[in-house]
Chain A
Amino acid sequence: DAKTTQPTSMDCAEGRAANLPCNHSTISGNEYVYWYRQIHSQGPQYIIHGLKNNETNEMASLIITEDRKSSTLILPHATLRDTAVYYCIVTRANDYKLSFGAGTTVTVRA
């Protein structure tokens, strides 16, 4: 699976959009980008995934660049409950295993 690079940490203001970048420059054509998050002392939670098109669900939006070498997870209106470690994971289609990297610690401040 392709490696991902994420900033170690970032802060954002409550009520503002949070934009979380992820680099995956060695991604292959059949690899998907997944985002999970882990709130303190809880299990990870699936957020969203995509292949090449932008995706949106009730939690977030995923923007993937045209060359697919990077992506951005957007939390449109961050709340204090969005404070968590966010993991960007690249994995092949039909691969049902995840390999977690270090992730980005996001702190939402009032």
Chain B
Amino acid sequence: DAMVIQNPRYQVTQFGKPVTLSCSQTLNHNVMYWYQQKSSQAPKLLFHYYDKDFNNEADTPDNFQSRRPNTSFCFLDIRSPGLGDAAMYLCATSRASGQGTYEQYFGPGTRLTVT
């Protein structure tokens, strides 16, 4: 089945130690998103790629960066994780063409723990 895959499902990192989360998709969607979801809160969009174009949300900290080397893969880099960055990180995809409406397909998420 076509899907959105996130690895690893659980990640533990140390305070200040860079960490990379990965997302891949077999849907061939042109838009990929990264959301942060803290405990008991709604998902919050960090940034997204529309094709190769990177779009950062205004309130996303500089500590968070992303790379999309090709259509299928997208990475979330946290340069210096703080305790407040512990959260579930969700990757999603959609097919956007400039017309119509777009459902997003989410991966299972990576739960990040910062020690």
A contacts, CB < 8 Å to B: 32, 34, 36, 38, 41-46, 49, 87, 93-94, 96-103
Contact = CB atoms under 8 A, between A and B. Distances in A.
What class of interface size applies to chain B in its complex with A? 20 to 34
Given A94-B101, A103-B42, 5 more contacts: A34-B101, A36-B104, A41-B109, A46-B104, A96-B104
Nearest to B109: A43
Nearest to B4: A43
B70 interface: no
Contact of A97 (B48, B101, B108): B48
Given A43-B108, A96-B94, A49 B101 contact: yes
Most buried by B among A43, A98, A102, A103: A43
29 contacts: A32-B101, A34-B103, A36-B104, A38-B43, A41-B109, A42-B108, A42-B109, A43-B4, A43-B90, A43-B92, A43-B106, A43-B108, A43-B109, A46-B103, A46-B104, A46-B105, A87-B42, A94-B100, A96-B31, A96-B48, A96-B50, A96-B94, A96-B102, A97-B33, A97-B48, A99-B45, A100-B42, A100-B43, A101-B42
Given A43-B90, A43-B107, A44-B106, A93 B100 contact: yes
B8 to A, nearest CB: 14
B60 to A, nearest CB: 13
A46 B44 CA distance: 16
B99 A94 contact: yes
Contacts of B33: 97
Given A43-B90, A93-B101, A102 B96 contact: no
A106 B44 CA distance: 21
A102 B109 contact: no
Closest 10 CB pairs of A and B: A43-B106, A100-B42, A96-B96, A46-B103, A96-B102, A44-B106, A100-B43, A43-B90, A43-B109, A43-B107
A7 B104 CA distance: 24
